Amino acid sequence: MAESPAIKRKREEKEGKNGSAASQNERPAAGDFPLAELSVLKVLRESAREKAIFLHGRVNSASGDETDAVVILEKIPFQEENIAELLKKHTAFQLQMSNDIYSTYRLFLPPELNEIKTTVVYPATEKHLQKYLCQAVYLIQETGEDYKNITLPFIESQSFSIQWVYNILEKKAEVDRIIYENPDPINGFVLLPDFKWNQKQLDDLYLIAICHRRGIRSLRDLTAEHLTLLKNILQEGGEAIQKRFGLAKTQLRVYLHYQPSYFHLHVHFTALSYDAPGCSVERAHLLSDVMFNLELDSQYYQKCTLTFALRADEPLLKEFQEAGKA
Residues 142 and 299: their CA atoms lie apart, in Å, by 16
| Shortest distance in whole angstroms from residue 257 CB to ligand M7G | 3
Identify any residues that bridge with 104 across adjacent strands, giving them in sequence order: 97
Contact call for residue 192 and ligand M7G (CB under 6 A): yes
Three-state DSSP at 191 gives strand
Size of the residue set binding ligand M7G (CB under 6 A): 14
> Do 128 and 38 form a contact (C-beta atoms < 8 A)?
no
> Do 145 and 305 form a contact (C-beta atoms < 8 A)?
no
| Shortest distance in whole angstroms from residue 275 CB to ligand M7G | 14
| Shortest distance in whole angstroms from residue 262 CB to ligand M7G | 4
| Shortest distance in whole angstroms from residue 9 CB to ligand M7G | 20
Alpha helices in the chain (DSSP H): 5-18, 28-31, 83-88, 126-132, 144-146, 152-157, 163-169, 227-245, 287-296, 300-303, 315-322
Site pattern 17..36 for ligand M7G (x: CB under 6 A): --------------------
Contact call for residue 274 and ligand M7G (CB under 6 A): no
Q: 287-296 and 227-245 helices cross at what angle (nearest 10)?
A: 160
Query: Which stretch, 74-82, 190-198, 245-253, 292-300, contacts ligand M7G (CB under 6 A)?
Result: 190-198
Site pattern 149..188 for ligand M7G (x: CB under 6 A): ---------------x---------x--------------
The verdict on whether residue 128 carries a ligand-binding annotation is: no
Residues 160 and 115: their CA atoms lie apart, in Å, by 30
289/295 with CB nearer ligand M7G: 289
The four Cα atoms 302, 308, 311, 312 give a dihedral, to 10 degrees, of: 80
Find all residues with CB under 8 Å of 51, minimum gap 6, and list them.
74, 75
| Shortest distance in whole angstroms from residue 308 CB to ligand M7G | 11
**Prior bond of 321 cis (ω within 30°):** no
The verdict on whether residue 174 carries a ligand-binding annotation is: yes
Q: What is the CA radius of gyration of the chain?
A: 22
The correct pick among 14, 128, 196, 253 for binding ligand M7G (CB under 6 A) is 196
Backbone angles phi and psi of 187, in degrees to 5: -115, 15
Site pattern 206..245 for ligand M7G (x: CB under 6 A): --x-------------------------------------
**Catalytic center residues:** 266
The verdict on whether residue 260 carries a ligand-binding annotation is: yes
Site pattern 247..266 for ligand M7G (x: CB under 6 A): ----------x--xxx---x
305: Cα separation from own chain's centroid: 25
Q: Which residues are annotated as a binding site for substrate?
A: 164, 174, 194, 196, 257-268
The site for ligand M7G (CB under 6 A) is made up of 164, 174, 192, 194-196, 208, 257, 260-262, 266, 268, 278
